Amino acid sequence: MRAALLFLGFAAAGMAHAENCSIDIKGDDAMKFDKAEVTVSASCKKITINLAHTGKMPVAAMGHNVVITAADDMQAVATAGMSAGVAANYVPADDKRVIAHTSLVGGGASTSATFAGSLLKAGGNYEFFCSFPGHYALMKGKLVVQ
Ligand code: CU1
């Protein structure tokens, strides 16, 4: 009896898993993010991106940001971001394909950005990537919404 109650307790705890509303990513001087996949909850009212650049190189040489788009839009937004230039954080202005993005930071710096959770749909196919020219080939990952 006691074992059965314990089991039920664990099962209930497993179902009520905590809501995750933050995307915590580190970038480094080797042009890498520390994660290839991040999961957020579809129920989040707001989602915060926290990017920490753990390297030492300056922003002009090894700047990183985090941009979120539908997976199908990643390449086009990365290309448009390159044209937008460093003053625009390599993110095209007023581009509806950009769901969210942080500013560009260099080594030792951190940045955050918050966006409405309603911009993401459960089960959607999203990517996060760095739009610094040439970086998205290596610095990208899957954003899972569940
Ligand atoms: Cu980067």
The per-residue pLDDT for range 105-116, each reduced to its tens digit, is 999 999 999 999
- Strand 22-27 relative to strand 46-53: parallel, antiparallel, unpaired? parallel
- Flag the least confident range among 2-6, 76-80, 130-134: 2-6
- Strand 37-40 relative to strand 140-145: parallel, antiparallel, unpaired? parallel
Rounded to an integer, what distance in angstroms lies between the CA atom of residue 34 and that of residue 39? 14
pLDDT of residue 67: 98
- Going from the Cα of 24 to the center of ligand 1, the distance in angstroms, rounded, reads 15
- Counting residues of the chain whose pLDDT is more than 90, the rounded percentage is 88
- Going from the Cα of 46 to the center of ligand 1, the distance in angstroms, rounded, reads 24
Does residue 15 register a pLDDT over 70? no
Does residue 36 register a pLDDT over 60? yes
- Going from the Cα of 66 to the center of ligand 1, the distance in angstroms, rounded, reads 8
* 76-103 pLDDT, tens digit each: 999 999 999 999 999 999 999 999 999 9
Average pLDDT, the chain: 92
Instruction: For residue 56, report the phi and psi dihedrals to the nearest 5 degrees.
Output: -125, -10
- Strand 126-129 relative to strand 140-145: parallel, antiparallel, unpaired? antiparallel
Sign of CA dihedral 76, 141, 117, 104: negative
Q: What is the mean pLDDT of residues 116-125?
A: 97
Does residue 48 register a pLDDT over 90? yes
- Going from the Cα of 65 to the center of ligand 1, the distance in angstroms, rounded, reads 6
Q: Is 94 helix (H, G, I), strand (E, B) or coil?
A: coil
How many helical (H) and strand (E) elements, i.e. helices and strands, does the chain have? Answer: 3, 8
pTM for the structure as a whole: 0.88
Fold of the CATH domain 21-145: Immunoglobulin-like (2.60.40)
Q: What is the mean pLDDT of residues 63-77?
A: 98
Residue 18 — pLDDT band, cuts 50, 70, 90?
Answer: confident
- Going from the Cα of 115 to the center of ligand 1, the distance in angstroms, rounded, reads 21
Ranges of each domain in the chain: 21-145
Q: Which residue has the tokens 């990208």?
A: 140
- Going from the Cα of 12 to the center of ligand 1, the distance in angstroms, rounded, reads 41
Cβ proximity of 13 and 38 under 8 Å? no
Q: What is the mean pLDDT of residues 14-23?
A: 79
